[in-house]
Structure 1
Amino acid sequence: VVYFRYTDDTLRELAKKLKERTAELKEKAIDPYATSPEVTPPVNASGSCVFLSPDRRYIAWLTVVAVAYNYNVWFCPARLAFPYHNDTANRFWIFFDVLSDVVNVVDIIIWQPRLQFVKAGDIIVSDKVHYRKSQRFKIDMASILPFDLLCLQFGFSSIYRLNRFLRIESFFEFSDRLESIMAKAYIWRVARTTGYLLYMLHLNACAYYVASVHQGLATTTWVYDGEGTAYIRCYYYAVRSLINIGGLPEPVTTFEITFQMANFFIGVFVFSSLIGQMRDVIGAATAGQTYFRASMDGCVEYMNTYTIPKLCQNRVRMWYNYTWAAQGMLDESELLDKMPLVMRTAIAVDINLATFQKIALFQGCDQQMLVDMLLRLKSIIYLPGDFVVKKGDIGKEMYIIKSGAVQVVGGPDNSIVFVTLKAGCVFGEISLLQSAKDGGNRRTANVKAHGFANLFVLEKKDLFDILVHYPESQKVLARKGRKLTKAKGPAGAKPEEKPKGMALFGQKPPTPKLLKAFGNFRKGGVMDKLKVKPLH
Structure 2
Amino acid sequence: MDPHELARLYRSSTKFQLDVAAVVPLDVLCLFFGFHPIFRTNRILKYRSFFEFNHRLESIMDKAYIYRVARTAGCLLFALHVNACIYYWASDRQGIGTTRWVYNGQGNMYLRCYYWAVRSLITIGGLPEPQTLFEIVFQLLNFFLGVFVFSSLIGQMRDIIGAATAAQSNFRASLDRTVTFMNASSIPRPVQARVRTWYAYTWDAQRMLDEADLLEALPAAMQAALAVDMNFSILSNIDLFKGCDTQMLHDLLLRLRSTIYLPGDFVCRKGEVGREMYIVKQGQLWVLGGADAAQVLATLTAGTVFGELSLLAATGSRRTASVMAQGFAHLLALDRKALRETLAHYPDSEKLLLEKARALLRETAPASAATSPTQGLASLFPPRPDT
Say yes or no: TM over 0.5.
yes
Amino acid at match of 1:450: Q
Change (3 A) 1:288 1:491: farther
Deviation digits for residues 411-438 of structure 1 (CA, Å, limit 9, x no counterpart): 476443332222211111122111247x
* 2:251 aligned to which of 352, 363, 372: 372
Contact 1:405 1:422 in 2 (8 A): yes
Q: Deviations over 1:48-99 (max 9, x none)?
A: xxxxxxxxxxxxxxxxxxxxxxxxxxxxxxxxxxxxxxxxxxxxxxxxxxxx
Matched residue, 2:134: 255
Deviation at 1:365, TM superposition (A): 2.2
Q: Which amino acid letter does the alignment assign opposite residue 333 of structure 1? A: A
CA offsets, 1:200-250, max 9 Å, x none?
111111111222222233332222222322211211111111111122221
Task: State the partner residue of 2:123.
Answer: 244
2:164 corresponds to 1:285: yes
CA deviations on 1:493-518 (whole Å, 9 max, x unpaired) are 59xxxxxxxxxxxxxxxxxxxxxxxx
Aligned to 2:345: 469
C-alpha distance after superposition, 1:319-338 (max 9, x if no partner):
11211221121111111122
Distance 1:434 1:219, change over 3 A: same
Q: Quick check: 1:192 aligned with 2:192? A: no
Please state how far the C-alpha of 1:491 moved relative to its aligned partner: 9.8
CA distance, structure 1, for counterparts of residue 238 and residue 221 of structure 2:
24
| CA distance in structure 2 between the partners assigned to 1:228 and 1:410 by the alignment | 86
- Structure 1 runs, 4 residues or longer, greater than 3 Å off: 410-416, 490-494
Structure 2 unaligned blocks of 5 or more: 371-387
Q: Which amino acid aligns with 1:126?
A: H
Match of 2:321 in 1: 445
2:336 aligns with 460
Q: Which residue of 1 aligns with 2:356?
A: 480
Residue matched to 1:359: 238
Distance across 2 between alignment mates of 1:214 and 1:206: 12
> Aligned ranges for residues 22-171 of structure 1 at < 5 Å?
116=1, 124-127=2-5, 128-171=7-50
**Structure 2: distance between partners of 1:386 and 1:336:** 27
Summarize the alignment of residues 219-238 of structure 1 with structure 2, pairs less than 5 Å apart. Answer: 219-238=98-117
Q: Deviations over 1:275-312 (max 9, x none)?
A: 21221222122222111111111111111111111111
Number of aligned residues:
369
Counterpart for residue 294 of structure 1:
173
User: Which residue in the other structure is 1:183 paired with?
Assistant: 62
Deviation at 1:469, TM superposition (A): 2.3
Of structures 1 and 2, the larger Rg is shown by 1
Change (3 A) 1:470 1:423: same
The one of 303, 319, 323 equivalent to 2:202 is 323
Greater relative contact order structure (CA < 8 Å, 6+ sep): 2
Unaligned runs of 5+ in 1: 1-115, 117-123, 495-536
Structure 1 residues 417, 313: CA separation in 2 closer, same or farther (over 3 Å shift)? same
Distance 2:105 2:368 in 1: 99
CA distance, structure 2, for counterparts of residue 166 and residue 467 of structure 1? 59
SS at match of 2:118: helix
TM-score by length of 2: 0.90
Root mean square deviation of aligned Cα: 2.0
Classify the secondary structure of the residue corresponding to 2:332. Answer: strand
In 2, the alpha carbon distance for the partners of 1:391 and 1:432 equals 16
Note closer, same or farther for the CA distance 1:136–1:340 as it changes in structure 2 (3 Å cut).
Answer: same
